[in-house]
Amino acid sequence: MCIAKCVEYLAAKSEADHYMRELKREQEEIINVPDTEAAEVEDILAQFELGLEKPQPRRALESAFTIAIAYVLGGLVPLLPYMFIPIARKAMLTSVHAGALVAAHHALVYELDTHGVGVITP
């Protein structure tokens, strides 16, 4: 029991020493390189106070590609019945029903993702 308390004391003391060393190092950096530290403070405030993150350079390209795929797949839903059903009226009704089902599915998935399972709001 005594050994456990000693180990706990040493761990807490070591953590406090490490904290003080890092704090002193930061204080020295503020004095020695204020421009660099000001930039770090700006980044920290943007992230934690405003909830902002640096944009990823590849994110714009990935978003554009994702949207393009979604448009192609979303556009195929109402067009596929016309490719496989020779009678235009039946193809149109099938297209409308398929579009309605896909829209309802997306609304349900969005609602569940936003509000959780079992909580569908009007």
At 51 the three-state DSSP class reads coil
When pLDDT is averaged across residues 99-105 and rounded to a whole number, the result is 92
* Digit-coded pLDDT (tens) for 44-54: 888 888 888 88
**Does the pLDDT value for residue 11 go beyond 80?**
yes
pLDDT band at residue 59 under the 50/70/90 scheme: confident
When pLDDT is averaged across residues 14-36 and rounded to a whole number, the result is 90
pLDDT, position 51: 85
Contacts of 99 (CB under 8 A, 6+ apart): 77, 78
pLDDT, position 88: 93
**What DSSP state is assigned to residue 46?**
I
pTM for the full predicted model? 0.47
When pLDDT is averaged across residues 65-85 and rounded to a whole number, the result is 92
At 106 the three-state DSSP class reads helix
Give whole-number Cα distances, 50 to 44, 45, 55, 118, in Å. 9, 7, 14, 32
